[in-house]
Chain A
Amino acid sequence: MVQGTITVNNKSGLHLRPASELAKIAGKLRSEITIVAGEKRVNPKSVLILMSAGITKGTTIDIICEGETEEADLKVMMDAIASGLGEGE
């Protein structure tokens, strides 16, 4: 199991479009992935569940990946969020 911490910085947080983008990326990865935001633990492969976590700009989240490709998958997730998910500042 590997874990990374990152702050969500795209301007509208994980709203519909950035959440769709992230879910699309997560959906292609083989690891079991969990995003931890405060007390919420959510599966980023679902847009709905991602959005219902209400992750706003500036929220610090943990990403946990588990599986054979966990290292690479964690990096993909971290890079995707750092890139602003298609909407920069």
Chain B
Amino acid sequence: MREWKVPKTASRGYAIAPLFVVKHVEVTASERKISQEEIDSEIARFEAAVAKAQDELLELAAQNEIFAGHYALAGDIAIYDGVTGKVKNDLVNAELALMQTRDEYVAVFESMEDEYMRERAADMKDVSKRLLYALKGIEDNAFAAMKEKSIIAAKDLAPSDTAKMNMELVAGFITEEGGVTSHVSIIAKNLGIPCLVGAGPMLSDVKTGETAVLDTDKGVLYVDPDEALVKEYEVKIEELRRRDEEMERLSSLPCETQDGHAFSICANVGNVVDIKNALKYNIDGVGLFRSEFLYMENDHFPTEEEQFAAYKEAAELMAGKELTIRTLDIGGDKGLDYYEFPKEENPFLGYRAIRMCLDQTDMFKTQLRALLRASAFGYIRIMYPMMISVEELQAANALLEECKAELRAEGTSFDEKIQVGIMVETPAAVMMADEFAELVDFFSIGTNDLTQYVLAVDRGNQKISERYNSFHPAVLRAIAHTIAAAHRHGAKAGMCGEFAGDEKASALLMGMGLDEFSMSANSTPVVKYQLRGASYEEMQKLAGEVLKQSTVAGVMALLEK
């Protein structure tokens, strides 16, 4: 048995299958000097090759948009000028001119700092190869020989390679080169095929047909494994398959703990496409719809009609399920192309979110009117971000009432019982949680900002990043206090920060009494699975113990038990 340790996991899972080793036969350019008379025919040959390559790429682009980029590259004037220039000036054939042009640009890309850009050298190589094959009239498909389910081992895999594979026969991937944003990584992740990349030189030490085990958790490829290891992985694969099945089955089951305490699982979304994706997970609702995208994707402040159309579409997609829309939360680290925010020393403590909305009331009322009008088409809840005082809430609600009065006067319908809530993400909102809870229908705890404000730790600062920790007892106590205050006044307590989807935190939060967990859609099955498998009474006890802790270490010791 031999093994290779591979540091980069592109897509998770295990595989046991024979290897299929892709040996790239380098088609070399037949170098040849040409005569003056041949220049025109050589250029014509190259133009024909470009046309052939573009025909192929146009067809491939229908399945995968990467090829739309390749289509543009194949016809690029820089390649054309490079090749035709060399043919004319150096009197070399088109193949050689192409290879020289390729090498020039590959060198440029490979020297770039940005990893994404370095990996684009692969696009240049892939396109050049296609052009070279077209010049030489070669058809190639290395994967035609793959007949059984295999782990593919290759130097790297370009879009034109994966396009030729029968994906049903691919058990896993391992590549010598490439990073987690390379083409094969993206394909593998999309299709849920386990994949390791950046393995380093290994192809000369493995053979097609040798049995291999791919473990993306540990980052290891075992070749020619012993029987015990194969058995071990057969069990692991079976467990993973059962867990996936359980998740699938789970999505239709109610959200309640073993002892029958209900909770709700919602998704955080940024636009309508996200909602469509989130609905596949059978969520109870959307706990956070970031309205910023409407403002950030536009070149002007979106009009009432534009916003109304977007909110209405979202509400209709949700078909009666909860849709909590957060009013504009911009400023801080989020800017707009068409609006100049004042330069500030401390943008996170500056002119942002509700502060800006209460200052520019016309813009805010445009959004509130659009939200109200859309509420006639579904179950919309309005949520204000960054609240620090009851005065702010009163001011925002006064504007909301103005908008309602206007709409009534115009005879426009809206949900008269529309619920209003606030994000609890500042220490001030936590301290005043009782007073706020009397005035709102719900809280949603925004743990990303709350953690940074409670701890006074900038979450973007690498130097102090280990101090940014939502398991800090101060943050946990702030959360517990907020939930308890909500319940004292009959308001619902939700959470829409990253913390809500943290596998280690879910039992603790449930034990504190959290009603609604809102997170990125792909985290929802795991949290639901965990909470359904636990008892509320036990989780309450756990929360009680955790809240007594004075250190992060003490907290983690209890949660990791």
Contacts and interface: CB of A to CB of B under 8 A. Distances in A.
Contacts of A48: 73, 76, 78-79, 105, 124
B77 interface: yes
Interface residues of B, number: 27
Nearest to B70: A16
Interface in B120-134: 120, 123-124
Nearest to A51: B120
Interface string A7-44: 10100100111011001100100000000000000010
B69 A20 contact: yes
B68 A17 contact: yes
Given A16-B123, A17-B65, A46-B78, A56 B72 contact: no
B337 A15 contact: no
Kindly list the 7 A-B residue pairs having the minimum CB-CB distance in the complex, ordered from nearest.
A20-B72, A88-B297, A46-B78, A89-B296, A16-B69, A48-B78, A52-B108
Contacts, number: 64
Interface in B271-304: 293, 296-297, 299
B120 A47 contact: no
A83 B299 CA distance: 7
A82 interface: yes
A29 to B, nearest CB: 13
Interface string A50-89: 0110101000000000000000000000000011100011
B329 to A, nearest CB: 14
Nearest to B73: A47
Contacts of A82: 299, 337
Nearest to B113: A54
Contacts of B167: none
Decide if the interface of chain B is mainly helix, strand, loop or mixed.
helix
Given A12-B116, A88-B293, 15 more contacts: A7-B337, A15-B120, A16-B66, A16-B73, A17-B65, A17-B69, A46-B78, A47-B73, A47-B76, A48-B76, A51-B120, A54-B113, A54-B117, A83-B299, A88-B296
Which of A12, A49, A51, A54 has the most CB atoms of chain B within a 10 A radius of its CB?
A: A51
A31 to B, nearest CB: 15
Q: Which of A19, A20, A24, A89 has the most CB of B within 10 A?
A: A89
Contacts of B123: 16
Interface residues of A, number: 26
Given A82-B337, A88-B297, A45 B77 contact: yes
Contacts of A43: 77-78
B116 to A, nearest CB: 6
Nearest to A21: B72
B109 interface: yes
Nearest to B107: A52
Given A51-B117, A52-B109, A46 B76 contact: yes
Contacts of B68: 17, 20
B418 interface: no
A39 B72 CA distance: 26
A30 to B, nearest CB: 15
A23 B297 contact: no
B245 interface: no
Nearest to B69: A16
Contact of B293 (A9, A49, A54, A89): A89
Most buried by B among A7, A19, A52, A84: A52
B112 interface: yes
A48 B117 CA distance: 11
B114 interface: yes
B147 to A, nearest CB: 34
Contacts of B116: 12, 15
Contacts of A46: 76-78
Contacts of A88: 293, 296-297
Interface string B49-78: 000000000000000011011011100111
A83 B298 CA distance: 8
30 contacts: A7-B337, A9-B337, A15-B116, A16-B66, A16-B120, A16-B123, A17-B65, A17-B68, A19-B72, A20-B68, A20-B71, A20-B72, A23-B72, A23-B76, A45-B77, A46-B77, A46-B78, A47-B69, A47-B73, A51-B109, A51-B117, A51-B120, A54-B112, A54-B113, A54-B114, A82-B337, A83-B299, A89-B293, A89-B296, A89-B297
A84 B297 contact: yes
A47 B71 CA distance: 11
A84 B78 CA distance: 24
A56 to B, nearest CB: 7
A77 B549 CA distance: 59
A83 B338 CA distance: 11
Contacts of B105: 48, 52
A5 to B, nearest CB: 13
A27 B65 CA distance: 20
Contacts of A89: 293, 296-297
Contacts of A15: 116-117, 120
A16 B127 CA distance: 13
B101 to A, nearest CB: 9
A84 B113 CA distance: 23
From A7, A16, A17, A20, residue with most partner B Cβ within 10 Å: A16
B72 A24 contact: yes
Contacts of A9: 337
Interface in B15-72: 65-66, 68-69, 71-72
Contacts of A17: 65, 68-69
Nearest to A46: B78
